[in-house]
Chains A and B, each alone.
Chain A
Amino acid sequence: DAKTTQPTSMDCAEGRAANLPCNHSTISGNEYVYWYRQIHSQGPQYIIHGLKNNETNEMASLIITEDRKSSTLILPHATLRDTAVYYCLKGAGGTSYGKLTFGQGTILTVHP
């Protein structure tokens, strides 16, 4: 059960969109894509999740490719407070419980 693959780190200018990619080529049909982030010294915070369709909420947008092998988290107007480690995960759905497997994540640094 391979984990997802993300770049180790990314930079973004304040006010610009941050686009964080994730590869989940081994995702199975009933697995959702989840994004969490962890700001320094805090517990992880849920951002968004999706199965097939693109999703948007007050925090971010999630774009999932048609073959579901990769996705992109978009923070439309990054702020300094968005500096965090961003985790892309896949979790089983349906009758299975949502045990999450966390990888190393992407360290996003938002610059002034």
Chain B
Amino acid sequence: GAGVSQSPSNKVTEKGKDVELRCDPISGHTALYWYRQSLGQGLEFLIYFQGNSAPDKSGLPSDRFSAERTGGSVSTLTIQRTQQEDSAVYLCASSLASFHEQYFGPGTRLTVT
């Protein structure tokens, strides 16, 4: 079946602009995660959604970052007033339930100029 998809695959934006990154999880997966990976670095957890529970936002680096998940499926990560340090690959993952293996999308490469 279809895997996790993310769009856009690449995004170049100017410093100070807002961006929205989209994630379509695998159908039926109740858990959804956002991570980011800066150049040469490991993955950094950002936010987690599980069903209708309140999301765990403990990994969001600042209040410029927010995310929502509509209808328990598609998720959007929004970064307001982008900064150059926001440049990274943003990865989305989903899993069948809160404690199952995670399937990752191809990521969105964000470049802030």
Q: Which residues of A contact B (CB under 8 A)?
A: 32, 34, 36, 42-46, 49, 87, 91-94, 96-105
Contacts and interface: CB of A to CB of B under 8 A. Distances in A.
11 contacts: A43-B4, A43-B104, A44-B43, A44-B93, A46-B102, A49-B101, A100-B33, A102-B42, A103-B42, A104-B41, A105-B42
B42 A43 contact: no
B37 to A, nearest CB: 8
Given A43-B105, A43-B106, A45-B104, A91 B45 contact: no
B95 A98 contact: yes
| Those 10 A-B pairs whose CB atoms lie nearest each other, nearest first | A43-B104, A102-B43, A97-B98, A46-B101, A102-B42, A98-B99, A44-B104, A104-B42, A43-B91, A43-B107
Nearest to B92: A43
A46 B42 contact: no
B56 interface: yes
Contacts, number: 59
Interface residues of B, number: 25
Contacts of A103: 42
Interface of B: 4, 31, 33, 35, 41-45, 48, 50, 56, 91, 93, 95, 98-107
A97 B99 contact: yes
A71 to B, nearest CB: 16
B42 A91 contact: no
Contacts of A34: 101
Contact of B91 (A44, A93, A99, A105): A44
Nearest to A34: B101
B36 to A, nearest CB: 11
Contacts of B104: 43-45
A97 B100 CA distance: 9
Contact of A99 (B4, B41, B45): B45
A42 B98 CA distance: 23
A18 to B, nearest CB: 20
A97 B56 contact: yes
